């Protein structure tokens, strides 16, 4: 079942992102194109984004395991090539107090430490594999969108340091205006000293180059249409070929369709996230909002805005929204975002928008990611549902699965918030209505 418009799943259609126009192409022979004929490998990986490419890289390079990736579109076509480029933490929609209450302090600390490690992993992969990420900033800026939110940021910073050992700096409105930027929705900020901005498609293609160089086989335009099993062997069938494997990894995140694997059916909720990008801003235009930071920023709205200045002085502005994925609703969403950009940054309200695109954030009912094995087949693994913070979490999860398959680690090394198949949504056909109600509630809270 897919409950967004079919155009959102059209893997033959470019995302229309700024990243696609700016990223260098894959190296020759990296994407082998549609799988042709019948093939065999040890581990088949469904999904050619950060999770799948990282798993392929670490399986091939570190464990010498034969891995083949099948991706419905070009490599990096999904969220890995169209996100906002925020390498941040943590990948969940739980509050910190909820995280601790549900999993205990020790597991919450392990979870947060693993995701600080995940941010470092992205930088390490870029250095080791010579991936030019266009890395920007040291840390992230969490901005109070209203005066009442500033005290909450103070509490957040103290809590992060006291509980998880994450350092941060609290800045009042005047300090943010002098050091970073100013706008109509800037009332102070918390500078968390972990994370950075990057070019997401450069990262995805860099991982693909590295994985292929290590010996993994990568096939874009190879959507899995049918999944059969005979004994201990899995057979993944595409339009032009088939792949037999002893093990399989599901790494499809928000583009996972219920028909792919019955054990994951009704357990994931894709949510649309939208991005607009302006033409390059002049020095005078930047100065109008005192913009002088490279830090990726997000605000304290429940339906957050996230934004950053790109290296060529284009401004990226993102937001959640749209319940259908229909092109007509996308056009409405674009207009809404242009209006809100002009309200938050009024000096830029007439700056032309050159790019608009959207993709899926993936959530679970328990509000944490999912890493594990299928209950009825321990040779089928999964890693997905990063709740909008997958740029670091996804490659970390891919490496984690590779290390488990390769025998280096076990699931005991994975923090509890990640572990196991997520629960099914009750009355799953009503997921769109759950989302509609949640969006309405969040909009009410943002205006309260």
pTM: 0.95
The CATH architecture one would assign to domain 6-84+201-268+365-430 is 3-Layer(bba) Sandwich (3.50)
Locus of tokens 């990096």: 76
pLDDT digits over 92-140, tens only? 999 999 999 999 999 999 999 999 999 999 999 999 999 999 999 999 9
Q: What percent of the chain has pLDDT over 90?
A: 89
What value does the mean pLDDT take over residues 391-400?
98
Average pLDDT across the chain, whole number: 94
Of the candidate ranges 84-93, 142-151, 186-195, 319-328, the one whose mean pLDDT is the lowest: 319-328
What value does the mean pLDDT take over residues 384-397?
97
pLDDT at 442: 47
pLDDT band at 441 (very low <50, low <70, confident <90, very high): very low
SS3 for the chain is CCCCCHHHHCCCCCCCCHHHHHCCCCCCCCECCCCCEEEEEEEEEECCCHHHHHHHHHHHHHHCCCEEEECCCCCCCCHHHCCCCEECCCCCCCCHHHHHHHHCHHHHHHHHHHHHHHHHHHHHHHHHCCCCCCCECCCEEEECCCHHHHHHHHHHHHHHHHHHCCCEEEECHHHHHHHCCCCCCCCCEEEECCCEECCHHHHHHHHHHHHHHHCCEEECCCCCCEEEEECCEEEEECCCEEEEEEEEEECCHHHCCCCCCCCCCCCCEEEEEEEEEECCCCHHHHHHCCCCCCCCEEECCCCCEEEEECCCCCEEEEEECCCCCCHHHHHHHHHHHHHHHHHHCHHHCCCCEEEEEEEEEEECCCCCCEEEEECCEEEEEEEECCCCCHHHHHHHHHHHHHHHHCCCCCHHHCCHHHECCCCCCCCHHHHHHHHHHHHHHHHHHHHC
What 3-state class would DSSP assign to 305? strand
């Amino acid at each position: 079942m897919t409950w967004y418009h079919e155009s959102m799943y059209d893997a033959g259609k470019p995302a229309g992102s700024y990243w696609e126009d700016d990223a260098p192409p894959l190296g020759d022979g990296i994407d082998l194109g549609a799988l042709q004929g019948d093939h065999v490998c040890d581990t088949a990986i469904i999904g050619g984004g950060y999770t799948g490419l990282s798993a392929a890289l670490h399986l091939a390079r570190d464990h010498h395991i034969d891995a083949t990736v099948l991706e419905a579109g070009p490599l990096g076509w999904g969220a890995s090539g169209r996100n906002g480029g925020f390498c941040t933490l943590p990948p969940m929609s739980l509050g910190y107090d909820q995280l601790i209450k549900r999993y205990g302090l020790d597991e919450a600390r392990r979870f947060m430490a693993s995701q600080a490690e995940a941010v470092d992993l992205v930088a390490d992969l870029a250095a080791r594999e010579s991936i030019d990420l266009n890395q920007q900033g040291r840390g992230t800026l969490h901005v109070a969108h209203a005066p009442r939110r500033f005290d909450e940021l103070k509490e957040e910073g103290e809590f992060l340091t006291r509980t998880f050992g994450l350092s941060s700096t609290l800045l009042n409105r005047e300090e943010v205006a002098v050091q970073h930027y100013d706008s109509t929705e800037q009332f102070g900020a918390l500078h968390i000293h972990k994370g950075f901005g990057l070019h997401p498609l450069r990262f995805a293609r860099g991982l693909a180059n590295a994985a292929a160089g290590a010996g993994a086989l990568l096939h874009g335009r190879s959507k899995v249409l049918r999944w059969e099993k005979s004994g201990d062997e899995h057979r993944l069938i595409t339009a032009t070929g088939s792949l037999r494997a002893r093990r399989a990894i599901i790494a499809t995140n928000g583009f996972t369709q219920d028909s792919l694997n019955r054990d994951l059916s009704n357990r994931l909720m894709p949510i649309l996230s939208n991005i607009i990008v302006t033409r390059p801003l002049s020095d005078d235009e930047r100065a109008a909002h005192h913009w002088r930071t490279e830090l990726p920023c997000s605000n304290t709205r429940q339906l957050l805005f996230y934004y950053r200045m790109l290296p060529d002085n284009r401004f990226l502005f993102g937001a959640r929204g749209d319940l259908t994925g229909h092109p007509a609703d996308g056009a409405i969403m674009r207009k809404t975002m242009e209006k809100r950009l002009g309200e938050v940054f009024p000096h830029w309200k007439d700056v032309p928008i050159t790019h608009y695109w959207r993709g899926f954030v993936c959530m679970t009912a328990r509000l944490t990611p999912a890493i594990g094995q299928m209950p009825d087949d321990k040779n089928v693994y999964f890693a997905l549902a990063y709740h909008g913070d997958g740029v670091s979490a996804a490659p970390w999860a891919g490496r984690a699965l590779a290390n488990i398959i390769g025998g280096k680690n076990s699931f005991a090394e994975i923090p509890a918030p990640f572990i196991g198949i997520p629960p099914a949504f009750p009355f799953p056909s009503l997921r769109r209505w759950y989302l509609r109600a949640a969006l309405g509630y969040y909009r009410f809270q943002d205006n309260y």
